[in-house]
Structure 1
Amino acid sequence: MNKNKKAVVLSSGGLDSTTVLAMVREKAYDIFSLSFSYGQRHDFELKAAQTIAAAMQVKKHLITRIDLSPIGGSALTDAIPVPKSRNPSQMTDEIPVTYVPARNTIFLSYALAWAEVLGAWDIFIGVNAVDYSGYPDCRPEYIQAFETMANLATKAAVEGKGRFCIHTPLIDMSKAQIIQAGLSLGVDYGLTHSCYDPDADGLACGHCDACVLRKNGFAAAGVPDPTIYTP
């Protein structure tokens, strides 16, 4: 892999996106990581993303501010309670209220814009269609549709300078497999933050969907979960 090849990687500060960062680093890309302050319930994930970017020695880490809270419609951006203590089957019974309307479409659009400016043809996102909470914008058909759009809607692609590719290396992996892959690449999961509803000190609640999936993933992987949960 050419060391000068550039990649834009969406980084939430969570377990999945951090594993993707490690995978991209292993391929010797110059990494440009992108996070969003979008009016979410807390900024602990952004602090984690900054710490992770430094640990991964990314070329540049950018935090873009978009306020989705006036739109609302999600437990992550509105005064809607975060669901707690659900089992995985309950999580996929219907699209949960932690779904943020059009979030991945918005995030990928920003990533695409930055990639076009950078001359980067590869965009990586840690979506997963196995251990996920039923989000429609985490499915392979959505990613393929966005990639098609990206190559129709950008000056660089229309002029034939290259073709944008949206990479989803975790799409078919279980949470346990993701964790095992990350550990093999030296990921320190103690730096990551997954909880939807942490306390004022940033400690994970241990009961939201994200915490449950994380706990189950570490248990299935047979390794200790480094997360500190509220008592």
Structure 2
Amino acid sequence: MALAHKQLDFESVPVRVSDKAAIAFSGQDKVPILKDGDHMVFDSWKIADYLESAYPDRPSLFGCAAGHGLARFVNAVVDRQMIPKLAPLLMRDVLDIVDDADAAHLRNGIEKAFRKTLEDLASQRDSGIVEFRRMLDPVRATLRTQPFLSGAQAAYGDYILFSLFQWARIVSAVQVLEPDDAIAAWRERMLDLFDGFARREQSRLEAVEAAS
């Protein structure tokens, strides 16, 4: 979304989560990785910072220094509170759309982190989703008065939170948001941005069903 916002042409190269050899060229073992000529950047926040400084003539991801600082706060809230709350509830579904090697890698990592099986985590899904929705109240209140978290137009703060909902849409059929939620309407606006760029990413569940 940041690259689309910056109006930059790019090629995406998906990799299996267990295939660390595929990203060994970066000197570390995490994604996403941005390769821009001779420059290598990994970590979403660092990539956004790089794009903003390397392409100052393109639309700004932050708007100003104050916007950059506020987006950093949103990034911390999503990373430290929202992702740990929602991702474990949906991770069991992920096993149904990846190969055996990735499934084993994901199961091992998540179960070690939470000290529960993925099945146990999934069994808490109903109450967990309710708690997650409640956690979003500040977002909901903001979107009742403006179309995007960043104001009249979407910016990097929106993309940070949207990435979690996009991941959920791709990996699981669970309805994370109620249809009449202001955040659900915002999510639709986000999916429509850049000529439907994010909407074109097919749900993996749909892809698996179509192939079977």
Larger RCO: Structure 1 or Structure 2 (Cα < 8 Å, ≥ 6 residues apart)? 1
Length-normalised TM-score, structure 1: 0.30
Higher strand share: 1
